[in-house]
Amino acid sequence: MNEDFDKLIRNAKPAVPEGARARVLEHVEAHGAVASAPAPWRVLLRAAALVLLAVFAGVAAALAGRPEPAPAGDPVAELAAEVKALDAQVAALERDSAALQLAKLQAEVAALETRRQAFEQAVTGLVEAHELCEREEWRQRHIEHMRRHYAEEQEATIERLRSELNLSAEQEKEVRALLTEAGKQAEGLIGEVYTSGRRRHDPRMHDKFAQLASETETQLNALLNEQQRGRMAGPTGIVSSEPEDWAPRSDFRDATDLDVWTNWINVTRE
């Protein structure tokens, strides 16, 4: 069986002519194997091919990366665009100009000055309102004090005149009315101190109270008869001519009247 396969394989090989075989062997002996070393011209061709491939690749990349040329536009539209750009530049220059910035700063300064004046007016108004309320509070406290203590003094004065001058009932009634009217006039003088808005003392207060005391004394003498006037050694002093006598004293048990007393002294001291 094996011998049959060997014969079949040998019979399948093509027959090589004797002359061709001899020529191939002679060429191999003379020049060596064909594939042992390439010929010089083949090396040059391969190098040239590589160089050409590199050049063509660079050119193709450059052509692919070059931007497309812009199509030629309308000259009128281009001119209009340039004019618009120039207008924008001029507007920017005008907006950022020194004169315009100075005008803006002046406007801001004017606005701040207006706000400052408004603030000062508001503060002044608040201070004046506070002082007005304070003066009104002092006026009320002073008049209330004067009414309370003047009523006590009035009764003591009438009692003294009754015992010293032997006043009749009609005279006592007239003296009481006289002292009541003097008290009202004193209230008016006290109110002037707080409503006149004076920041400093008013020396005329002494003259006004002295005039009130003199007029009250004159009216009292008119109410007395000749015998009663003879018993009077001098002015009765039923109304004081000193403004301080109409103000709360610091030695009063009501210590809250001390500020009213201090204010009264400040505005009436000569």
Give domain limits for the chain. 128-268
The pLDDT, as a whole number, for residue 234 is: 72
Could you tell me the two tokens for 213?
A: 């005391």
Terminal-residue alpha carbon distance, the chain: 165
Query: What global pTM score does this model have?
Result: 0.53
What DSSP designation does 71 have? P
Closest Cα to residue 252, out of 270, 264, 238, 237?
264
Let me know: does 182 contact 150? Beta carbons within 8 Å. no
The pLDDT, as a whole number, for residue 34 is: 46
The pLDDT, as a whole number, for residue 227 is: 86
The pLDDT, as a whole number, for residue 70 is: 47
Question: How far apart, in whole angstroms, are the C-alpha atoms of residue 256 and residue 249?
Answer: 11
The pLDDT, as a whole number, for residue 211 is: 93
The pLDDT, as a whole number, for residue 137 is: 87
The pLDDT, as a whole number, for residue 40 is: 63
Q: Is 95 exposed, middle or buried (CB count within 10 Å of its CB: 0-12, 13-18, 19+)?
A: exposed
Could you tell me the two tokens for 113?
A: 């000055």
Place of tokens 């120039």: 86
pLDDT tens, per residue, the chain with 270 residues: 556 556 655 565 555 556 656 665 665 455 554 444 455 656 676 777 666 666 666 666 666 665 555 455 677 788 888 888 887 877 777 666 777 778 888 888 989 998 989 999 899 888 888 888 888 888 888 898 888 888 888 888 888 888 888 888 999 999 999 999 999 999 998 888 887 765 566 778 888 899 999 999 999 989 988 888 888 777 778 888 888 888 877 655 566 677 788 888 877 776
